[in-house]
Amino acid sequence: MITIPVVRTYSLEGAGVGIRHVSVVHDDELIGGTKEAALAAILPLLDGDEFVYAGPRQGYAQIALAAACRTLGKRGTLFVAGSLVRHARTLLAVSLGAKLVEVQPGYLSVVQSRARAYCRETGAVLLPFGLDCEGVLCAIRDRALATGLSPKEVWSVAGSGTLQRGLQRAWPDAVFYAVQVGKPPRAGRATVVVAPERYEQGAKIRPPFPSCDNYDAKVWSFIMESASDGAVFWNVAA
């Protein structure tokens, strides 16, 4: 069962700016994070029993799909680049019941091509990269509205940009900041700032709560430096 997001407030102190308060949405309390909640909402509306996702081996969407399919009694199948040592997130997704297909060579374009071919052959439903689709955007909007927050400023990570655009639907009057961790995202009207770490690297400055090390955690240094009093940080996953 997916619950209403937990929100906690943290006090920040910075030289010359006094004490600021930042509200953090803790979707890290879901094993698959925000997109687990979104998938749990939309998969029952889709015509299919097997759902496929193709993405990077470090990505969190694989856990989101595995967790949502376990909750719903559906089958989740993951296509990732093959390697001698499986990433911890892939191992977690498999432990949640996902079927794993490892692809060589492991270029993302090849991984996605193999996933498309598999879906043509089996009739499984291929989910878009970044889970970037109307249903997920609406589910993220609804989850944001369920917090009861009315922020003026919102911070989050931006991989594909799906999260940012969903949150913007919920809070159309807020100012948004997106921290880019990989390729340039489709982040809607957010101001995009680029994390200094490489995609696969962990954050150099981490928040005082569970946060995905090569993803959400990279937002925290920007929040410490620039977030205004009353800002909201959407923490996608642990």
pLDDT tens-digit readout, 105-131: 889 999 999 999 999 999 999 999 989
User: Structure pTM?
Assistant: 0.91
Q: What is the mean pLDDT of residues 87-96?
A: 95
**Residue 15: pLDDT above 60?**
no
Q: How far apart are CA 64 and CA 98, in angstroms?
A: 10
Q: Provide the b/e sequence for 58-89 (b: ≥16 CB within 10 Å).
A: bbbbbbbbbbbbbbeebbbbbbbbeeeeebeb
What's the pLDDT at 232?
A: 98
Q: Which domains does the chain carry?
A: 7-30+132-235 (3.40.50.1100), 35-130 (3.40.50.1100)
pLDDT tens-digit readout, 185-231: 999 999 999 999 998 889 999 999 999 998 999 999 999 999 999 99
What's the pLDDT at 2?
A: 65
pLDDT band at 4 (very low <50, low <70, confident <90, very high): confident
pLDDT tens-digit readout, 139-185: 999 999 999 999 999 999 998 899 999 999 999 999 999 999 988 99
Q: How far apart are the first and last CA of the chain?
A: 18
Q: What is the mean pLDDT of residues 80-106?
A: 94
Tell me if 22 sits within 8 A of 223, measured CB to CB. Answer: yes
What's the pLDDT at 58?
A: 86
What's the pLDDT at 17?
A: 62
Q: How many Cβ atoms sit within 10 Å of the Cβ of residue 90?
A: 24
Q: How many Cβ atoms sit within 10 Å of the Cβ of residue 208?
A: 8
Query: Cis link prior to 105 (omega < 30° from 0)?
Result: yes
**Residue 16: pLDDT above 80?**
no
pLDDT band at 59 (very low <50, low <70, confident <90, very high): confident
pLDDT tens-digit readout, 18-54: 789 999 999 999 999 999 999 999 999 999 999 999 9
Assign 102 to helix, strand or coil. Answer: strand
